[in-house]
């Protein structure tokens, strides 16, 4: 089944001038919700309407109250939880005999006696006249039950609830522009020099086409690696970066003398000597000047003399 919503719904003076946006939206929901039928009377509870529209149950009660008592476009029976759409027949019925028979059968399913009697009066009037259905006007003469403890003239409550909810959601999703950023800790001259070295490394790394992007995660790993090699020493950490840049390396590795090498059996060992250039003094004991006579002890041993 489908319901017809005429285009004049959006240009009707009563809808445009008297109804709030929330009331228009809710009325459109009542006209097209999946629980309707050809009579324009259907059962629908507050909780179900709340779930399907997104409004709270209190807001739904307020909207039902205003559409009934202020605008007069619907009726609601709290005993049977049925809703009657006034003038539904003008836009959704036809004079087809088969259609009217179907309406007659559906009327028997209406539980509210006042609603059932009203639809029967409308059906009888259409069957007994040849006038256009839209010109048939059957007033609703039954008493309107007062069931909502709300001020029918208070149309602001719906708007306020919607506005407050939207503002709360926006504040939760978007950071406040007025919120001040947390102050950054002051850096020592050595730490500032290290940060400048990182900036230099970023510019240097861009020169390698095959190098991957220097992401925030990569920088975090590099900082951890430098801290492990030179704990709490920003000067030494900057020297390590320059050490790698000077050698044309893309990555950063501490020099070997700053690392602990691991042997085959997993035991850690360190170099215990100092690297330095080799001089002539290192070889003075390795060579003998053959132009000089050997010492007496050495000569006797060589000649076999007693």
Predicted pLDDT of residue 164: 44
Residue 294 counted as domain residue: no
pLDDT cut 90: percent of the chain above it: 26
Concatenating the DSSP letter of every residue in 116-161 gives HHHHHHHHHHHHT--S-GGG------SPPP----S-TT--HHHHHH
Judgement on whether residues 153 and 238 belong to the same structural domain of the protein: no
96: left (phi over 0), alpha (psi -120 to 50) or beta: beta
Judgement on whether residues 17 and 61 belong to the same structural domain of the protein: yes
* Lowest model confidence (mean pLDDT) among 83-92, 170-179, 240-249: 170-179
Global pTM value: 0.47
Does pLDDT of 158 surpass 50? no
Does pLDDT of 150 surpass 60? no
Residue 2 counted as domain residue: no
Q: What is the mean pLDDT of residues 149-165?
A: 47
Give the H/E segment covering residue 48: helix 46-53
Judgement on whether residues 143 and 69 belong to the same structural domain of the protein: yes
Q: What is the mean pLDDT of residues 36-50?
A: 93
Q: What is the mean pLDDT of residues 197-206?
A: 86
Residue 137 counted as domain residue: yes
Q: What is the number of structural domains in the chain? A: 2
Judgement on whether residues 73 and 198 belong to the same structural domain of the protein: no
Residue 174 counted as domain residue: no
Q: What is the mean pLDDT of residues 213-237?
A: 87
Predicted pLDDT of residue 187: 81
Whose tokens are 């959601």? That residue is: 169
Residue 19 counted as domain residue: yes
Judgement on whether residues 135 and 36 belong to the same structural domain of the protein: yes
Query: How far is CA 215 from each of CA 4, 222, 238, 240, 250, rounded to the nearest angstrom?
Result: 57, 11, 19, 20, 14
> To 10 degrees, the CA torsion angle through 162, 163, 165, 167?
160
Judgement on whether residues 21 and 65 belong to the same structural domain of the protein: yes
Length of the chain equals: 306
Domain range for 117 is 7-164
């Amino acid at each position: 089944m489908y319901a017809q919503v005429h285009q004049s719904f959006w240009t009707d003076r009563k809808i445009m001038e008297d109804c709030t946006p929330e009331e228009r939206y809710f009325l459109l929901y009542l006209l097209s919700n999946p629980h309707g039928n050809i009579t324009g009377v259907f059962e629908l509870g507050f909780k179900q309407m709340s779930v399907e529209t997104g409004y709270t149950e209190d807001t739904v009660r307020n909207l039902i109250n205003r559409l009934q008592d202020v605008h007069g476009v619907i009726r609601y029976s709290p005993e049977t939880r049925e809703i009657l759409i006034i003038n539904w027949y003008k836009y959704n019925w036809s004079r087809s005999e088969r259609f009217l028979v179907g309406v007659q059968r559906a009327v028997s399913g209406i539980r509210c006696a006042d609603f059932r009697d009203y639809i029967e009066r409308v059906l009888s009037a259409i069957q007994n006249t040849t006038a256009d259905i839209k010109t048939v006007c059957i007033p609703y003469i039954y008493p309107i039950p007062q069931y909502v403890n709300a001020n029918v003239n208070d149309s602001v409550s719906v708007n306020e609830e919607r506005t407050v909810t939207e503002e709360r959601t926006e504040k939760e999703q978007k950071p406040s522009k007025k919120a001040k950023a947390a102050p950054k800790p002051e850096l020592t001259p050595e730490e500032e020099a290290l940060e400048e070295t990182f900036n230099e490394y970023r510019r240097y790394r861009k020169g390698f086409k095959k190098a991957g992007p220097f992401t925030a995660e990569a920088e975090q790993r590099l900082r951890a690696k430098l801290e492990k090699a030179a704990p709490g020493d920003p000067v030494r950490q900057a020297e390590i970066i320059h050490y790698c840049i000077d050698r044309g390396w893309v990555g950063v590795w501490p020099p070997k003398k700053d690392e602990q090498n691991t042997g085959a059996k997993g035991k850690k060992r360190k170099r215990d000597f100092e690297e330095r250039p080799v001089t002539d003094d290192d070889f003075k004991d390795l060579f003998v000047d053959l132009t000089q006579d050997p010492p007496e002890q050495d000569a006797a041993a060589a000649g076999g003399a007693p």
